[in-house]
Amino acid sequence: MAVLAENRAKLTLKRSAPGIYFNGPASPLRQHNGILFPYQPDITYQQSVAYSQYDMVHTNYTFNAYRNTPSPSIQLNAQFASVTEEEGAYTLGVIHFLRMVTKMFFGKNQTRPAAGTPPPVLEFSAFGSEQFNNVPVIVSTFSVNFDSNVDLKLFKGGQQLPVMQNIFVDLMVQQNPDRQKNKFTTSNFINGSAYKQGFI
């Protein structure tokens, strides 16, 4: 069964983000306020739990004391086709978008946003409201594969792209501390209602 249209994976800016992100090469992403993945990416969700070990003498088992539950991580392996001019512009826009959202605002003449402003917190959604529902995330790493065995296509401005390539994106969940304190309860998470608030 194919993924439903409303459940397609997307990685978007928050509504409060400055609009300058779509003024350049990422303009094809403006319609969806970020990346709407053209093909369903492979998604790996990972959750760890941190325990402190107590090494007690003359015992056969160590004692593990709960410390915390770190934020989950999400890995994406997404395919992009670049055959038509529209597809090529979109792929270039995606690459540029990922480059932008992994950089802080910097420079002597940087004014809006002010220099020192960190990279934006994005929202990731996929598969429905009880899977990934506007989960606040930051991009920790991304990589773009330019496979030498794949044919290249020439686009406007002398830009060349493989007709098919993979982009890998690592996301870390970034919950606002105040929001976590005032909105989250484990009881709400257990009954499933916390999913609608972006908690996973």
Q: What is the pLDDT of residue 131?
A: 92
Q: Dump pLDDT digits (tens) for 90-109.
A: 999 999 999 999 998 888 88
In sequence order, the 6+-apart residues with CB closer than 8 A to the CB of 175 are: 71, 136, 184, 198, 199
The residue with greater pLDDT, 12 or 115, is 12
Mean pLDDT of 115-143: 93
Q: What is the pLDDT of residues 149-194, one digit of tens each?
A: 999 999 988 999 999 999 999 999 999 899 889 999 999 999 999 9
102: alpha, beta or left? (left if phi > 0; alpha if psi -120 to 50): alpha
Q: Give every CB contact of residue 174 below 8 A, 6+ residues apart in sequence.
A: 71, 121, 136, 137, 138
Sort 109 into a burial class: Cβ within 10 Å, 0-12 / 13-18 / 19+. Answer: exposed
| pTM for the predicted model, two decimal places | 0.90
Give residue 52's identity as a one-letter amino acid code: S
What does the alpha-carbon distance between residue 197 and residue 192 come to, in Å, rounded to a whole number? 10
Q: What mean pLDDT do residues 13-26 have?
A: 87
pLDDT tens-place string over residues 28-61: 999 999 999 999 999 999 999 999 999 888 888 8
According to DSSP, the residues that pair with 52 across neighbouring strands are 65
Structure tokens at 31: 């319609």
Residues 75 and 169 sit within 8 Å (Cβ to Cβ): yes
Determine how many CB atoms are found less than 10 A away from the CB of residue 160. Answer: 11
Count of beta carbons in the 10 Å neighbourhood of residue 105? 17
Single-letter code of the amino acid located at 95: I
According to the model, what pLDDT value does residue 109 have?
85
Report the pLDDT value the prediction gives residue 105, as an integer from 0 to 100. 83
Cα 47 from Cα 162, distance rounded (Å): 34
Number of other residues whose CB lies within 10 A of the CB of residue 12: 18
The continuous run of DSSP H or E covering 187 comes out as: helix 186-191
